[in-house]
Amino acid sequence: MAAIKADIKLIPDRPDNQDDFFDDDEILIDERRMHLRAFDYWRNSRGDNELPDIKHLSKNGLDPFRDYSVMLELDGPPTIRFMGHALAAEAGQQVPPGTLLSRLPNHCLASRIGESIETAIARKRPVELAATCQFESGEAIKYRGVLLPLSSGGDEVSFIYAVLSWRPATPLEMMELDAPLTAMLRRAREAASHVVRLDGRSHQTLYEALGEALGFYEESLLAARDYQSLLKEIDLKAQARAPFTPVLKLIFGKDYDKTRLTEYAASLSYAWRNGQTRDSFMAFVTKQPGGIKGCVKAERRERRIAGGNRAADQVEAAKETLRNMAPMDMNALGADMTGEYCLVIARKNSQDIAEVIAPAFESENMLEAAMKRATRKQPKLEDN
């Protein structure tokens, strides 16, 4: 079986009235909203707990998606405890309870969920996956699934309940098997749509989307001609000095907030500078002080150094020196003055009291400008 690498991402909670878990054209008509119903059942079953207890699941609750589902026990290697009739038929064989997931044939659709199990276990959240697969016979299918982590009375994931649906692949989706860059763009755009819908409020969702953008950029380096064609379709050009800007415009849209795009591009540049990839980006940015903002700050510092402009770093070094200087004796200040007036540098201490720490050896123009600003709109002293 050939396949585009599965799109694996965590599913954010949704408002009860939001019915856009998957696009309608991505689901078999007879199974419309099946994954959404499974996700809602999982969410409602957990109550106030982080994970639903498997003992709280009911036959009636599972019936709407039973035929397209598989229950895995995780006490050791993932072991099948139940497989629905439709999935078993797709596998072309009976799958009795106790069968190891790893023993399923490679052409079996249920075997595709193995690579997503670790994500569901680590995050303790439902995981969505999607891909287009092509069998040796030439038949191609588009599948989607959702993995729902369950406990056995504690806080750890003891079971995974997976629901899968599939349909014949469209000609465009079959073309994507030979055009991975287009497939990765679709995956990245879908991840970005979650960020847009949540208005950037979920760091987890944003990091996942930017990881997909980094993966798309990696692939674009291997498929330069395809990348240029994608840029041309929406009147964009590659930028040598800012390579991630057109990538993000392709993914988030040309009209997306420019300030955010600039910050996202800087964070991706910093991750790329440090050898990160699609798979390592989330862990990398999570460890950075300040997350995305911290990456942006670090990247801008690196660019200043690379460009030979160290002025900002020199200012920071001067501030640090001034923080450690002792306050100045005001009576001794006059000896250093060459005229009637002078500028001084003051610092606010921990008691919110201003301390003079050094004279500012200003030019005459600087002093005159400061005097004008200080006296602007100030009342004049009355003569006695």
What DSSP assignment string belongs to 177-238?
TS-HHHHHHHHHHHHHHHHHHTTT--HHHHHHHHHHHHHHHHHHHH-HHHHHHHHHHTT---
Highest average pLDDT, of 29-43, 193-207, 325-339, comes from: 193-207
Backbone conformation region of residue 80, classed left if phi is above 0, alpha if psi is from -120 to 50, else beta: beta
Q: What is the pLDDT of residue 288?
A: 92
Rounded Cα distance, 187 and 208, in Å: 11
Rounded Cα distance, 336 and 361, in Å: 10
333 is written with which tokens? 């200040």
Rounded Cα distance, 58 and 174, in Å: 39
Q: Point out the least confidently predicted range of 165-179, 199-213, 215-229.
A: 165-179
Using a pLDDT cut of 70, give the percent of the chain over it: 85
Averaged pLDDT for residues 6-15 = 50
Q: What is the pLDDT of residue 229?
A: 87
Backbone conformation region of residue 369, classed left if phi is above 0, alpha if psi is from -120 to 50, else beta: alpha
Identify the H or E element spanning 48: none
Q: How confident is the model at residue 382 (pLDDT cuts 50, 70, 90)?
A: low
User: Which amino acid is located at 375 in the chain?
Assistant: T
Q: Which residues contact 136 (CB under 8 A, 6 or more apart)?
A: 1, 107
Q: 265 pLDDT exceeds 90?
A: yes
Alpha helical stretches, state H, the chain: 34-46, 59-62, 85-91, 114-123, 171-176, 180-197, 203-222, 224-233, 244-252, 258-273, 281-287, 291-306, 311-323, 364-375
Q: How confident is the model at residue 331 (pLDDT cuts 50, 70, 90)?
A: confident
Measured in degrees and rounded to the nearest 5, phi and psi for residue 117 equal -60, -45
Q: What is the pLDDT of residue 136?
A: 63
Q: 23 pLDDT exceeds 50?
A: no
Q: Point out the least confidently predicted range of 8-12, 197-201, 217-221.
A: 8-12
Q: What is the pLDDT of residue 178?
A: 66
3-state secondary structure of 364: helix
Using a pLDDT cut of 90, give the percent of the chain over it: 35
Give start-end residues of each CATH 3.30.450.20 domain in the chain: 2-171
Q: What is the pLDDT of residue 201?
A: 76
What predicted TM-score, i.e. pTM, was given to this entire model? 0.50
Task: Look over the chain and give the mean of its residue pLDDT values, rounded to a whole number.
Answer: 82
Give, to the nearest 10 degrees, the angle between helix 258-273 and helix 291-306.
70
Q: 202 pLDDT exceeds 90?
A: no
Domain 2-171 matching CATH 3.30.450.20: the answer reads yes
Q: Are strands 2-3 and 127-134 parallel, antiparallel or unpaired?
A: antiparallel
Q: What is the pLDDT of residue 149?
A: 95
Summarised one tens digit per residue, pLDDT across range 61-104 is: 999 999 999 999 999 999 999 999 999 998 888 899 999 998 88
Rounded Cα distance, 212 and 8, in Å: 10
